[in-house]
Amino acid sequence: MFKLGRSCDPKRRLKDIRHQAPWLQLHLAAVFAGCGHLEAACHKALRETFQQVGREWYRADSEHAAVARVSEVLTRIMEA
């Protein structure tokens, strides 16, 4: 599973989530700096591609697939 969200301090946010759910083995897979305003578009694309299992959580075969999908969406939006 992976989570898409926005934060001014992603490392601190990760620490907070680890504190709230210590049973989860979490790590930070990617940071897309300056793209927080595009979060809604990324969630929409992820819902079309992966199973949503929470408000901002998704199930994917690999984190690489998830990061690649978000990167693809951001690239398409930025080039438009």
Q: For 52-66, give the DSSP string.
A: E-SSSEEE-S-HHHH
Q: Are 4 and 70 in contact (CB under 8 A)?
A: yes
Round to whole Å and give the CA distance between 24 and 41. Answer: 26
Q: Which two tokens stand for residue 8?
A: 């001014």
Residues of the chain with pLDDT under 50: none
Output the pLDDT for position 62.
Answer: 85
Residues 6+ apart with CB under 8 A from 23: none
Strands (E), 1-72: 2-3, 51-52, 57-59
Output the pLDDT for position 79.
Answer: 87
